């Protein structure tokens, strides 16, 4: 069974500093995808970044980058130059491998999340 572990329940960072949110995963699939979502206090889920298991380059999207270490089974999210608006819950999620069984559905397994607070 697939599993996502986020070991940091909460983090506090000064504005403009960089922050790394940890995510480790466990899967027996050779092909899988890793996602990060942001959930502000308003409750919606916002997609941030995606990394495929066969992608050779680490994914980047603006101030977000994903430090993907396949051998260590980690997919940490790095936010550069943090802003007050980055304060939110952050979830790491994994999509099971592509197969006929999944019929093209993108079923996700989520970690428990990390609450990030940016201090002015």
Binding site for other proteins (CB under 8 A): 4, 33, 35, 43-45, 47, 50, 52, 91, 93, 95, 98, 102-113
Would you say 87 or 113 has its CB closer to other proteins? Answer: 113
CB closer to other proteins out of 72 and 101: 101
Q: Please report how close the Cβ of residue 87 comes to other proteins at its closest, in angstroms.
A: 17
Specify the residue, 50 or 64, whose C-beta has the smaller distance to other proteins. Answer: 50
Distances (CA, A) of 21 to 46, 52, 60, 93, 109: 16, 18, 15, 13, 17
Q: Would you mind telling me the total number of residues written for the chain in this entry?
A: 120
Q: Which is nearer to other proteins, 80 or 106 (CB)?
A: 106
Q: How far is the CB of 17 from other proteins (least distance, A)?
A: 26
**Residue partners of 19: CB distance under 8 A and separation at least 6:** 11, 13, 78, 79, 82, 86, 116
C-alpha 69/C-alpha 31 separation (Å) is 15
Nearest distance in Å: CB 100, other proteins: 8
Distance CA 75, CA 66 (A): 6
Q: Which two tokens stand for residue 47?
A: 């997609």
């Amino acid at each position: 069974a697939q599993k996502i572990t986020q070991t940091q329940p909460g983090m506090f960072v000064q504005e403009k500093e960089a922050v790394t949110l940890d995510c480790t995963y466990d899967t027996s699939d050779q092909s899988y995808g890793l996602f990060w979502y942001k959930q502000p206090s308003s409750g919606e889920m916002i997609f941030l970044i995606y990394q495929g298991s066969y992608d050779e380059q680490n994914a980047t999207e603006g101030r977000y980058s994903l430090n993907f270490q396949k051998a260590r089974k980690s997919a940490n999210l790095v936010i550069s130059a943090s802003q007050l608006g980055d304060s939110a819950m952050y979830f790491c999620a994994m999509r099971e491998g592509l197969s006929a069984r999944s019929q093209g559905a993108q079923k996700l397994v989520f970690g428990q999340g990390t609450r990030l607070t940016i201090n002015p």
